[in-house]
A and B are shown apart, each in its own frame.
Chain A
Amino acid sequence: MIKLDSLTNSIGEWLKGTGPESDIVMSSRVRLARNLAQYPFVGRASDQERGEVQQFLRSRLLQLPSRLSLDYVDVGGLGELDRQFLVERQLISREHAEAAGSRGVAIDTHEQLSLMINEEDHLRIQCVHSGLDLESVWRQISAVDDEIETVVPYAFHSRWGYLTACPTNVGTGIRVSVMLHLPALVITRQIDKVFRSLHKISLAVRGLYGEGSQAFGDFYQISNQTTLGKTEQELIAQVADVVPVLIDYERRARDFLVRETEQNIHDQVSRAYGILRTAQTITAEETMQLLSRVRMGVLLGLLDDVDVSDVNLLLVRTQPAHLQKLRGVELDTKDRNIERARFLRNYFETGSAEAN
């Protein structure tokens, strides 16, 4: 059984802040949807069948020939705080956290792999790496998928491919996504134009979510929309091809801000930093927004006493469930906001989260 508390002190793969283009690309992710041939899909399975699917997959995942070191978490048996915690780390989906019935997730020690059991499909395999690194993500996840397939009869049809509960995922069952930090495109109001051009090539864009499900910061996820009729490599390329363009736009917008509005942008960044260091109570949304500005400021060389890795760490540790787990008590919204402000002040004062 995994010790969720041990995760509290690590940062998680997607916020490590390393890897190619990591000034703009936070993470690269691939997800595969798979189902067992001999069971109804999750939404139509009886409680007993769901329980059997969980047992069947759990026992096989934990005994894969390569001895992948996976820890299994019975999500159905977790309290709300722990489930929320896994969502904040992007190891399970919000839907998986909030669902009912037998369900679980297997997570590898590096938090790169997570395998959700009984989400919308029997098995959802996810692999994430820091920075822009879709190729190695694909290499890793396809090897895991192959290995599972030697011990699990995945539902497959020669014409339709891998069969999924929702026809929108049928075929490859793949979703390829890249998460980007695009503050300069937001500030210069070019982001809408960018989204519009993405829709034209049938890519989806979504914001990241904080407390109360409001979009936060300037983090956006670009992913493919179709799963059938193209190979996995083609679908990966569809996303991968657009990322350098977005990186280029964002870099140009950052350059523009420094060149044309230097004082203004310096002011914005410094104020954001100032609030984070002195606030007495602060919401998760405001924190994300300000951290996003500070992150850009650091990367532009406008703030020299903060590190990008600090900002990445704070992005995850100031989220509600993390905050409560670090504090060791459950807190209501009001107390969380006070605790969050205290945590931030302390962090910037001592330069470490451990001192809290």
Chain B
Amino acid sequence: MRCQQCDKQAMFHITELETGEVREVHLCEDHARSYLNQSEGASQPSESPGPLGVAQTAEELSELDQKVCEMCGITFFEFRNQGRLGCPHDYVQFEQELEPLIANIHGAVEHTGRRPQRAAGSELPESTESLTRVIGLRKGIREAVEQEEYERAGTLRDEINQVLDNWHAEQQTADGTDSSQPSESPSSS
């Protein structure tokens, strides 16, 4: 069975009881989520007409849509269309834009669950944000190779190894193990 709002498979079969009448709604996971958030939304008044839960004019929205992640290159517009982010850095790059959306989905804007063990009791940052630079660098290599700028590709490759080495070194000093090295295969240039 297909989702009533798109072409995906309907995963949720929601039965609504309205004034004694039974109505069935068949939705994919994404549409079910927004549907259920909507029907629940009565308790969370959103005055905004914007899809992100913030007041937006068409102009503001189109400006927002052009924002680009500097690592993976996804635009906010592409994200809004696909409903999937491009890379972990997007949560930093689009933090402001994502906040109302996330608040709308989860009713919260702060993680309170488990945290990586590796950072516990050390000076290490919990965030793996520094590693996301590799994503941008790898994209740079692809572009350089396309333009036959092999020297630049080589420099970027060195930079990637530098980022990964730094990460590795930090981990090692933190707990004396060398297990979490995100190695980079040389074939990927």
**Contact residues of A with B, CB < 8 Å?**
35-41, 43-44, 46, 48-49, 52, 55-56, 94, 120, 142, 146, 149-163, 165-168, 170-172, 174, 191-193, 195-196, 199, 202, 204-207, 213-215, 225-232, 235
Which of A35, A39, A49, A172 neighbours the largest number of chain B CB atoms within 10 Å of its CB? Answer: A39
Say yes or no for B182: interface residue by CB 8 A criterion. yes
**Contact residues of B with A, CB < 8 Å?**
1, 9-17, 22, 29-30, 32-33, 36, 39-40, 71-72, 74, 82-88, 91-92, 98, 101-102, 105-118, 125-129, 131-132, 134-135, 138, 142, 164, 167, 177, 179-180, 182-183, 185, 188
CB of B107 within 8 A of CB of A226, answer: yes
CB of B127 within 8 A of CB of A156, answer: yes
Instruction: Specify which of A155, A163, A231 is in contact with B113 (CB 8 Å cutoff).
Output: A231
Given contacts A150-B177, A172-B111, A231-B112, contact A46 B82 (CB under 8 A): no
Given contacts A157-B92, A206-B12, contact A225 B33 (CB under 8 A): yes
Docked CA distance A335–B162 (Å)? 60
CB of A229 within 8 A of CB of B110, answer: yes
Docked CA distance A154–B180 (Å)? 10
Q: Top 3 nearest A-B pairs by Cβ distance?
A: A229-B108, A161-B111, A37-B128
Given contacts A172-B111, A230-B108, contact A40 B135 (CB under 8 A): yes
Instruction: Specify which of B9, B14, B74, B107 is in contact with A44 (CB 8 Å cutoff).
Output: B74
CB of A153 within 8 A of CB of B131, answer: yes
CB of B84 within 8 A of CB of A230, answer: no
Instruction: Specify which of B74, B88, B116, B132 is in contact with A149 (CB 8 Å cutoff).
Output: B116
CB of B36 within 8 A of CB of A171, answer: no
For this complex, 28 residue pairs linking A to B, each with C-beta atoms less than 8 Å apart, are A37-B88, A37-B131, A39-B87, A40-B87, A41-B85, A41-B88, A48-B188, A52-B188, A149-B117, A154-B116, A157-B92, A159-B111, A162-B111, A165-B84, A166-B84, A167-B101, A167-B102, A168-B29, A168-B33, A172-B113, A192-B17, A199-B36, A206-B11, A207-B13, A214-B1, A225-B33, A228-B108, A229-B107
